[in-house]
Structure 1
Amino acid sequence: MVTAPFVSIVDDDESVRLATASLIRSLGWSAQVYASADAFLRSNACVSTACVVCDIQMPGMTGLEMQAQLIANGMRLPIIFVTAFPSDATRRRASENGARYFLHKPIDAAEFTRCLQSILGSGETR
């Protein structure tokens, strides 16, 4: 049995994870939450994840390090990075490695929805 694709949310802030998952579910998509990049990578959710929403600054493995690990494993998932500490260097590094969007916290719900629709609506998952 094949599981329908879903959005994986990786953020160390529980309130952000839950609010983001709630918004995604209200738009009709499924969401799964992870408290760390390590937890996401250990879950094997990469196989059915259509899009990753990931914080950049997290204890342990950062979002950018997680992106590099996914690439090293041959997986180029569409990623929407979110951060409370934006910088041009971080944005550039994320984009060079294939991140689709780079949003500042607190995220604007309408802008975030447009980003998701761009990725999920197009059927792009790899």
Structure 2
Amino acid sequence: MEDVDLPHDLISIIDDDASLRLATSSLLRSMGYITEFFANAEDFLGSGDLSRFACVVADIQMPGMSGIDLTHKLIAANGQAKVVLMTARTESDIHKRARESGAVCLLQKPFAADSLLKCVGKALEPEGER
């Protein structure tokens, strides 16, 4: 039997839709990731040492702080942010703001499992390899 080297990175999932949080968490856990999830950006920011998270997967539109604003806040605090943004919105200005925010990837809901895994993999690559 071959040993499989699974990732053990901690990924934060932030979305006000409980079913999407659970589905996203289940998928990432099935691939070996460890997840914590939050209903909004404020709960995430108040959760303690944010450096423990290797990556953040966040919805753009949530009550309170948006995923785009969260990305800006993380970059201002750390100089970088390994953020994957998700949205069900189709307006081009939202997509443009998301791309310009510094997020690593933007997922259009509904998204395929392989798209999420590809974006998370890209976010976890060393800085020079992205």
RMSD: 1.6
Alignment match of 1:54 (pick from 43, 55, 58): 58
Determine the C-alpha separation between the residues in 1 that align with 2:101 and 2:64: 20
Give aligned pairs, total.
120
CA contact (8 A) 1:50 1:77 kept: no
| 5+ residue gaps, structure 1 | none
Q: Secondary structure at the match of 1:52?
A: strand
Inter-CA distance 11–75: structure 2 relative to 1 (3 Å threshold): farther
What percent identity do the matched residue pairs reach?
41
1:27-53 deviations in Å (ceiling 9; x for gaps): 011111011000011113421111110
> Displacement, 1:89?
1.6
| 5+ residue gaps, structure 2 | 1-7
> Displacement, 1:118?
2.3
Inter-CA distance 45–9: structure 2 relative to 1 (3 Å threshold): farther
Larger CA Rg, structure 1 vs 2: 2
2:74 corresponds to:
70
1:85 corresponds to:
89
Structure number with higher relative contact order (C-alpha < 8 Å, ≥ 6 residues apart): 1
Amino acid across the alignment from 1:101: C
Q: Confirm whether residue 30 of structure 1 aligns to residue 38 of structure 2.
A: no
Runs of 4+ in 1 over 4 A off after TM superposition: none
TM-score (norm 2): 0.83
Comparing 73-82 with 13-22, which one deviates more in the overlay? 73-82
